[in-house]
Amino acid sequence: MLFSVLVSTCFAVVFVMFDIVPSKATTKAIKPRLTLFKSLTPRQISMLYKHRKRRVIFIDFSLPSSRKRLWIINKGKVLLHAHVSHGQRTGYLFARHFSNELGSHKSSLGRFFTWHFYVGQHGRSLKVVGMDSTNSNALRRKIVFHAAPYSTERFLDTNGYLGRSHGCFTTSPWVNNQIIAFALRYGPVFVLVVG
């Protein structure tokens, strides 16, 4: 009973947050949008709702790397839903261990904002600044958004999971370009990472 109430509450929040009007005529349009948020807990939904008027890059590391778990959201509208890798020592298919320590090769949770675009060892890259005690070393750890061959659909199709980074948010080259373009156009962009 309690679970069904929570699920209903989550979907109600999603309806409000993304301006979805539930009716028979819009059922087909609603279903794909709801599936993006099926895995979210009430806490994660409320965190997203809190930032609904902002431009947000949202990453849900509670999902396996075989699932799309990165969203680019522009004031309530989902612009992109994509795969993203987690850190080597965070886990294999599932992200289970997080850290803020230098050299940990683990992903960090919490709030970030995008900061500086550059072209480096991994090509086009975007630095982030951590805003919480769980990610305050992001700059010192050189945690960035960048492309990687182990974060592509081809790698996923071959292996059943994405490869892992040293803690960076790695994606396919195309997705990485979309993230960087979004941040350069609207930055600094708020980044919310949950797990």
pLDDT in the model for residue 126: 97
Instruction: Judge whether residue 8 has pLDDT over 70.
Output: no
What is the arithmetic mean of pLDDT over 83-105?
96
**Domain ranges (residues) in the chain:** 1-45, 51-194
User: Mean pLDDT of all residues in the chain?
Assistant: 82
Report field, pTM of the whole predicted structure over 0.85 = no
For residues 63 and 109, the answer to whether their CB atoms sit within 8 Å is no
Instruction: Judge whether residue 157 has pLDDT over 50.
Output: yes
Instruction: Judge whether residue 163 has pLDDT over 90.
Output: yes
pLDDT in the model for residue 75: 84
Q: Would you list the DSSP string of the chain?
A: -HHHHHHHHHHHHHHHHTT----GGGHHHHHHHHHTTTT--HHHHHHHHHTTTSEEEEEETTS-TTS--EEEEETTEEEEEE----BGGG-SSS------STT------EEEEEEEEEEETTEEEEEEEE-STTTTTTTTTT-EEEE-GGGSHHHHHHHSS---BSS-EEE-HHHHHHHHHHHHHHPSPEEEEE-
For residues 45 and 68, the answer to whether their CB atoms sit within 8 Å is no
Q: What is the pLDDT of residues 11-34, one digit of tens each?
A: 333 433 443 333 343 333 333 344
For the domain made up of 51-194, the CATH class stated in words is mainly beta
- Cis amide bond preceding 188, omega within 30: yes
For residues 33 and 16, the answer to whether their CB atoms sit within 8 Å is no
pLDDT-derived band at 90 (thresholds 50, 70, 90) equals very high
